[in-house]
Chain A
Amino acid sequence: MEFNWTLVGQMISFGLLILFTMKFVWPPLTQMMEERAKRIADGLASADRAKQDLANAEKASADKLREAKQQAAEIIAQAEKRAAQLVEEAKDNAKAEGERLLAGAQAEVDQQVHQAKESLRQQVADLALAGAEKILRSEIDANKHGQLLASIKAEL
Chain B
Amino acid sequence: MSAENKEAPSATDYILHHLTFGKIHLGKTSEETQVPEGAKAEHKGNFHLDTFSVAMVLGLLFVGLFAMVARKATPGVPGKLQNFVELIVEMVDKQVKETFHGKSKVIGPLSLTIFCWVFLMNAMDFLPVDLLPTIAQWIGYTFFGADPHHVYLRVVPTADVNQTFAMSLTVVLFIIGFSIKAKGLGGWIKELFTAPFHAESTGMKIALLIPNFLMQMVELIAKPISLSLRLFGNMYAGELIFILIALLPWWINWTLGAPWAIFHILVVTLQAFVFMMLTIVYLSLAVEDH
Interface residues of chain A, those whose CB is within 8 Å of chain B, are 1-11, 13-18, 20-22, 24-26, 28-30, 32-33, 35-36, 39
- Report if A22-B162 is in contact (Cβ < 8 Å); known contacts: A6-B52, A32-B74: no
If A21-B112, A22-B106 touch, whether A29 touches B70 (CB-CB below 8 Å) is yes
Interface size class of B (residues with CB under 8 A): 35 or more
Total CB contacts across the A-B interface at under 8 A: 126
A25 touches B70 (CB 8 A): yes
Contact (A5, B117) CB under 8 Å given A10-B51, A29-B86: no
Contact of B166 among A1, A10, A24 (CB under 8 A): A10
Q: Which of B44, B75, B106 has a CB less than 8 Å from the CB of A4?
A: B44
Whole-angstrom CA separation of A101 from B133 in the bound complex: 136
Cα A8 to Cα B173 with chains together (Å): 13
Contact A13 B59 (CB under 8 A): yes
User: What CA separation (Å) do A127 and B43 show in the bound complex?
Assistant: 183
Are the C-beta atoms of A6 and B73 separated by less than 8 Å? no
Contact (Cβ within 8 A) A36 B46? no
The 5 A-B residue pairs with the shortest CB-CB distance, nearest first, are A10-B166, A6-B162, A21-B109, A26-B109, A22-B109
**Contact A25/B170 with A4-B45, A4-B46, A13-B59 known, Cβ cut-off 8 Å:** no
The residues of A that contact B117 with a CB separation of less than 8 Å are: 14, 17
Cβ-defined contact, A25 with B112, below 8 A: yes
* Set of chain B residues within 8 Å of A35, measured between Cβ atoms: 75
Inside 8 A of B247's CB, which chain A residues have their CB? none
